[in-house]
Structure 1
Amino acid sequence: MSKNNKDKELDKMYKELLEARDSARAANKSEGNRLLSFFVGLLLLGGGLFMIFQNIEVTSSWGYSGSFFRIGGFGLPNGLIMLPIIIGIGMLFLMDKKIFGWVVLSIGIIIVLLSVMMTTHLHWIRSSAFTFIVMFGMTAAGGAMVLKEVFRKD
């Protein structure tokens, strides 16, 4: 092989190497932009949700209205709904098969959580239209940016 052919072959390999490097740089740049877009979207989504939750007031009437937890037409005093928890804890210490104690304890915890959640009230705090638009706009834009990057097909 002559020196001229070797030079042409080396030039051809060098050009292919440069093209591969440039395409890899372009891929890395677009990957970096995608990652930046994802995290900016995540920040917008988080900021918008934070602002929304800051404008919601949570109140509860648990323990009021005669201190009764109502199931249908039957009312239980709020202190009485703690009874399954106390019985469940006692069963854990007294019984050999602790599964029954765990079941009773779990049912008691579920009853207490349900009674609190059923008496919880959410109220929107008065806010300006600008604040409202910013909150929900940030949430929508951030959610869209995150979903766009998560479900992007390449």
Structure 2
Amino acid sequence: MTMSGAGGTPGGIGQFLLGFALAVAGGWLLMNQVVVSGGSWGLWGYNSFGLSLLPFILGTGMIFFNGRSVLGWLLLLAGLAIIFAGVIVNLRVYFLSTSLFNTLAILVLLFGGIGLIARSLKSHGTVAR
């Protein structure tokens, strides 16, 4: 059994590992500059989180009354989907202030690493003349 390189092609293991390390470092530094906070659930200017709980509460009640209630399970799953989507939609993402040098270093690490990973997947065998 012969060992092949990155992506099943000959060679490229070193480039792949270096690119992976650079991409991970750049991704970590980029994520370290991001702040995520929650927002409020609003509908026509009013807090609507309680309204999003109605299908979940009704579905839960119907399932406790009859565990085989298809409508109860549908309401429960729809309620969970609404709550999950509401949490995702109401997130606020902010990038912290940083210097231009730090930003360029982060982007070079991230995209340079991705480029090295992509390059490592090409065949590195000898060229026939």
Q: TM-score range by the shorter chain?
A: 0.7 to 0.9
**Residue aligning to 2:28:** 50
Letter in 2 for 1:145: L
Alignment partner of 1:130 is 2:108 = no
Which secondary structure does the structure 2 equivalent of 1:51 belong to? helix
**Partners of 1:92 and 1:98 within 8 A in 2:** yes
Q: TM-score with structure 2 length normalisation?
A: 0.74
CA–CA separation in structure 2 for the residues paired with 1:43 and 1:51? 12
Aligned residues: 119
Matched, 1:142 2:113: yes
Quick check: 50-59 or 88-97, which moved more? 88-97
Question: What TM-score, normalized by structure 1, do the two folds share?
Answer: 0.64
| Structure number with larger C-alpha Rg | 1
Q: 1:69 maps to what in 2?
A: 42
Q: In structure 2, the residue corresponding to 1:58 is in which secondary structure? A: strand
Aligned counterparts of 1:61 and 1:74: Cα–Cα separation in 2: 13
**In 2 relative to 1, CA 74–38 (structure 1 residues): closer, same or farther, beyond 3 Å?**
same
Matches of 1:56 and 1:115, distance apart in 2: 21
1:131 to partner: Cα distance: 0.9
Percent identity (aligned): 19
In structure 2, relative to structure 1, the CA distance for the partners of 1:38 and 1:114 (3 Å cut) is: same
Distance in 2, Cα, partners of 1:89 & 1:133: 51
* Coordinate RMSD, CA, aligned: 2.7
After TM superposition, the runs of 4+ consecutive aligned structure 1 residues lying more than 4 A away are 73-76
Highest relative contact order (Cα 8 Å, sep 6+), 1 or 2? 2
CA distance in 1, matches of 2:34, 2:94: 6
Gaps of 5+ in 2: none
Partner of 1:113: 84
Structure-1 residue corresponding to 2:54: 83
Uncovered stretches (5+) of structure 1, i.e. residues with no partner:
1-23, 63-67
Residues 94 and 51 (structure 1), Cα distance of their counterparts in 2 relative to 1, 3 Å cut: same
Listed as ranges, the matches of 1:11-50 within 5 Å are 31=10, 33-50=11-28
